[in-house]
Amino acid sequence: MKTLRNGGALYRGVDPEGQRDVVAYPGEIVTVSDAKALQLQTDWPGRWEDLGDSSLSGEPTTDAPNVLAGAEAVEPRRKRGRPRKAAPK
């Protein structure tokens, strides 16, 4: 399996070895079979960047950095416009 990055327009196709649809938006990274990777790089040279063999084991990971650590809570801002209606008496 190969990992490729789409450097062009939207691509839709089928990976014949995996019998699955391949949909790649611009800038998206996809994993395809070796044969499909060769076909994509041959048909559209320069559009697909080879990121190497897929090292994804299929097992979920629990080791991810918390990018929100220490971030301050942000109060939502009210939209400018008409003031709130007065409460009924």
In a domain, 46, yes or no: yes
User: What mean pLDDT value characterizes the chain?
Assistant: 79
- Is residue 84 over pLDDT 70? yes
Q: Which domain holds residue 39?
A: 2-52
In a domain, 58, yes or no: no
> How high is the pLDDT of residue 39?
92
- 24 vs 1: CA distance, rounded Å: 16
- As to burial, measured by CB atoms within 10 angstroms (0-12 exposed, 13-18 middle, 19+ buried), residue 39 is middle
pLDDT digits (tens, 9 = 90+) for 44-74: 888 999 888 865 555 555 555 555 655 666 6
Question: What is the domain count for the chain?
Answer: 1
Based on C-alpha coordinates, what's the Rg of the chain? 23
DSSP codes joined into one string, 4-43: EEE-SS-EEEEETTTTEEEEE-TT-EEEE-HHHHHHHHHH
At CA 84, angle to CA 79 and CA 88, rounded to 5? 160
Question: Are the C-beta atoms of 52 and 27 separated by less than 8 Å?
Answer: no
> How high is the pLDDT of residue 10?
92
pLDDT digits (tens, 9 = 90+) for 5-43: 999 899 999 998 878 899 999 999 998 988 999 999 999
> How high is the pLDDT of residue 17?
84
In a domain, 65, yes or no: no
